[in-house]
Structure 1
């Protein structure tokens, strides 16, 4: 029997949708729960041999998609004070075939075997991102095996190619499979949302609904990365893998429900093959990203261009460039600055100086750009094959001023320095996930190693001029 992907579905993963977790609040997502059960029933009625689950809350690696190893995949929702547990047979043969296909195609997809689980402290395989949708799949009567993937922090191109590996493995083994993509939409739909309110959150959720209503999955996979980042969503990565699993198959998507009562968007949809020959969406992904990078490079300020050229030259030639002969007057003065580097919408490095350590701002930018790329100990040093994916930002600091009362702080406008003795830390203004003064103080003290209730902590605020 020829193997194929029969059907796909997008489901959210709010634990409170499960009655013994959400209690009375479950009523506020009743439409979502009803739609999830309907989608689960559609998946089960397709009579699959296996369900491939894509969860954004499994082991997240910046450089790889992961597939969970083991004969039995287990988990629970105990962290949400629930007695719900999960236990599924793994389709070990299919998991191995996916990994083998990825190796043959140089796709960054790796098996989380027992040794890696132990190394990274993974005690259970089924996280809540997978568990919540699987709860509804069980209610619909599914008792078969699963394969569990986590998208990781790789590019959209790599995610799509990982999905293509799923497709090929399913075909090679003659499996009848369905794909379940787990993902919540924007986490920034209201002031009391996890990420506060952002216009991009509303924009993303509206775009997602439109793409699904129009069956325009090519558009969904090429939405602007800066909007996705600001929206704080975890839908598109899972959907990119799902679409890769249907590579060259024409698809019709059906939007079953959308709600956002808690400041987080929840979408349920199904994706059905239409028959006939389609085209791959991979070229769309590659072309869209190349166009965006070209636009970004073309609009770079001299400050950002200098930072980029400094790191690129150092990585390629191990040379520190000299400041340009012609440069803005501001670059000639002395000043502190921070250089932030992002890759695929995620932080890749950030190093800076409050007080200048070089004679000119130009030299400060060069120094901090190189340090951000190779010396931020949260990340491996940037390699040459990453350079074309990096986006830079330069924050030039104004002199700091002492703060006598926290009412003088505003995390959107002012950066924060906390200091006690030789312990200190700096947080730049307008950072993702830092929406309140309380959060800004908490994160800054954590970074400095200062206890939250410790007395005698000095506070300083500063403004920045941000260059992109």
Structure 2
């Protein structure tokens, strides 16, 4: 039992074109990369697909899976909104992967060891496991970014980009949680869960690496 495929995507609400309104075209390249990453999962021979994103707690979500984009400006349902609302990361995962049947949140402040153990457990749930991993990079790349400019952000994001491109689980596992928190990195814990799930050698491809609006977004695929 092992991880055989993964897709890494960010989770800004603006991935939904209706939310972006007049600025929708600015993220067309990002949306196209996310579609390609999700197609990578759809084409893989997977027994179990798990959507993974950060939240305040580490919880395996129960069906029905979905919610609404009302908190971000439009009254649009995603998936099945009749159950407990998904956090933003998993809600965007449900938008990108309609019909997914397994949703797992990881606490944003989970320690690297806890993330590694969770990843190992997820990889052991089926013979061939796929992960859709949602997470943003630093939010401190420009003066207009949510966290304003921090000179450490670019180097941090470059480390993440290289690790995702090279399917370097060790580099992801070594990310500093304290620095990530200071840089408002939403993806640190989910990426470290991915690192824990990837026991064997994998091939990586980085499909997108940019920081529109001062927030770093990465799209990548991993395959065994």
Mark the CA change 1:217 to 1:244 in structure 2 (over 3 Å): closer, same or farther: closer
Q: Which residue of 2 aligns with 1:187?
A: 139
Q: Which has the higher contact order (CA 8 A, sep 6+)?
A: 2
**Alignment partner of 1:52: what SS?**
strand
Q: Deviations over 1:253-280 (max 9, x none)?
A: 110011212010110001111xxxxxxx
Mark the CA change 1:168 to 1:216 in structure 2 (over 3 Å): closer, same or farther: closer
Mark the CA change 1:151 to 1:9 in structure 2 (over 3 Å): closer, same or farther: farther
Q: Which residue of 2 aligns with 1:157?
A: 113
Q: Which residue of 1 aligns with 2:205?
A: 254
Q: Which residue of 1 aligns with 2:104?
A: 148
Mark the CA change 1:189 to 1:15 in structure 2 (over 3 Å): closer, same or farther: same
Q: Deviations over 1:11-58 (max 9, x none)?
A: 0011112111011222222211110000011111125343211111x3
Mark the CA change 1:84 to 1:26 in structure 2 (over 3 Å): closer, same or farther: same
Q: Aligned-pair distance for 1:73?
A: 2.1
Q: For the Cα contact (< 8 Å) 1:16–1:25, is it kept in 2?
A: no
Q: Which residue of 1 aligns with 2:154?
A: 202
2:68 is aligned with 1:76 = yes
2:3 is aligned with 1:5 = yes
- Give the distance between the partners of 1:229 and 1:269, measured in 2 at CA: 22
| 1:85-234 pair list within 5 angstroms | 85-87=77-79, 124-138=84-98, 143-171=99-127, 176-234=128-186
- Give the distance between the partners of 2:162 and 2:148, measured in 1 at CA: 24
- Give the distance between the partners of 1:151 and 1:230, measured in 2 at CA: 16
TM-score (norm 1): 0.45
Q: Deviations over 1:47-101 (max 9, x none)?
A: 5343211111x3x14xxx2222x3322312111122332336xxxxxxxxxxxxx
Q: Which residue of 2 aligns with 1:39?
A: 37
Q: Aligned-pair distance for 1:232?
A: 1.6
Mark the CA change 1:196 to 1:79 in structure 2 (over 3 Å): closer, same or farther: same
TM-score (norm 2): 0.89
Q: Aligned-pair distance for 1:9?
A: 1.2
Mark the CA change 1:133 to 1:66 in structure 2 (over 3 Å): closer, same or farther: closer
Q: Deviations over 1:166-223 (max 9, x none)?
A: 122224xxxx431011101001111111111001111211111122233322122213
Q: Deviations over 1:331-370 (max 9, x none)?
A: xxxxxxxxxxxxxxxxxxxxxxxxxxxxxxxxxxxxxxxx
Once superposed, what is the RMSD of the aligned Cα atoms?
2.0
- Give the distance between the partners of 1:241 and 1:212, measured in 2 at CA: 13
Bigger radius of gyration = 1
**Alignment partner of 1:193: what SS?**
coil
Aligned residues: 222
**Alignment partner of 1:196: what SS?**
coil
- Point out where structure 1 has 5 or more consecutive residues left out of the alignment: 89-122, 274-468
Q: Deviations over 1:156-175 (max 9, x none)?
A: 0111011111122224xxxx
- Point out where structure 2 has 5 or more consecutive residues left out of the alignment: none
Q: For the Cα contact (< 8 Å) 2:173–2:196, is it kept in 1?
A: no
